[in-house]
Amino acid sequence: GMGWALLGAGLLLALYTLLRYGLRPAAPQLCARTELRGRTAIVTGGSGGIGAATALELARGGARVVLAARNALRGEAAAHRIRTETGNPEVRFMQLDLASLRSVRAFASAFLRQEPHLHLLINNAGVSAGGITEDGFSLSFQVNHLGHFLLTQLLLERLQSCAPSRVVIVGSRAHCAGRLHPDTLGRPPPGPLSAFQDYCNSKLANVLHARELATRLQGTQVTCYAVHPGFVNTELFRHTPLWLKPFFLPLVWLFFCEAAEGAQTSLYCATQEGLECFSGRYFADCHLQEPWPLARDDRLARTLWDASERLVGLVGTGESPSP
């Protein structure tokens, strides 16, 4: 019995090592010479996980970084930690709850009032939980897409006046399972896997958002990129049901890279020179990749844009900046 158990454990360990280090391409380290002094970045969801790892590297490069996050305690702590670790004093927390369009507007107006520049907007925050927001939309779809859509529109003029500038939208390979129906947009999908489907839909929306935004920004020197960060072991999965956790944890260990590695593609698209010609495209493992066919559908991208404008209340308000 004991011998078999040891053999099994040895095989598992070998498999783990192979999977963890053999199959995952090594992410290129961010070039240390990236000179970001004088540039201002916003990272949504910057208080933990990939967002904090992204913010840390931007701060290390000399950028002024605004951590836009919901929880003030965690946000202030992360800002303090990053200032200490990088020696860069230009890191601050500002409150943003993407599950509230009112909060998105308040954040945008406070930012525009207090910060003269914006060169990098990293739309990184994400949730995978079910639920309905105060605005009446499904939680994942609002946090991952609609809230970021509104935020980007409200900050677009500032990005344009500071150009060249970039928007990085953190999507996911989960976009392959996404479906978007314009008439039911923002409502929880039917069925037992509603929250998971909603997450996938929001990630498809992310990739399409980048595509249509790029089209509208042609000639402005503002470029945008959708990225798949890698299946990263962060708080995104704190909502996994308890009974699933034992099954899930080995997978987390096997396939999920650490947050620092997950941040690499965001950082690459934010800082790599010469990516301008790829505006609107999708990157994974710091390489250009073709997303799934639905995510390349320009008509769907335009339909999503018009519906999103309507849902967040940007139509007919004169608020949406015309590129």
Q: Which two tokens stand for residue 249?
A: 């944890």
List, for residues 65-85, the tens digit of each pLDDT value: 999 999 999 999 999 999 999
Q: Is 199 a catalytic residue?
A: yes
**To the nearest whole number, what is the mean pLDDT of the chain?**
87
Which phi and psi (to 5°) does residue 287 adopt?
A: -130, 150
Domains in the chain: boundaries: 32-312
List, for residues 125-135, the tens digit of each pLDDT value: 999 889 999 99
Amino acid in the structure at residue 67: L
CA distances from 193 to 173, 177, 209, 319 (A): 18, 12, 24, 36
List, for residues 201-257, the tens digit of each pLDDT value: 999 999 999 999 999 999 999 999 999 986 554 444 555 666 666 666 665 555 445
Element housing 249 (H / E): helix 245-255
Give the closest residue to 25 by CA, choosing from 228, 207, 249.
228
Q: Which of 16, 21, 199, 268 is catalytic?
A: 199
Better-scored residue on pLDDT, 5 or 227: 227
Read off the pLDDT band of 10 (50, 70, 90). Answer: low
Output the CA torsion sign for 256, 257, 263, 264.
negative
The fold of 32-312 is Rossmann fold (3.40.50)
Contact between 93 and 69 under an 8 Å Cβ cutoff? The reply is yes
pLDDT at 303 over 70: yes
Confidence at residue 49, expressed as pLDDT on a 0 to 100 scale: 86
Read off the pLDDT band of 33 (50, 70, 90). Answer: very low
Bridge pairing between strands 282-284 and 287-289: antiparallel
pTM of the model: 0.83
Contact between 267 and 30 under an 8 Å Cβ cutoff? The reply is yes
Read off the pLDDT band of 260 (50, 70, 90). Answer: confident
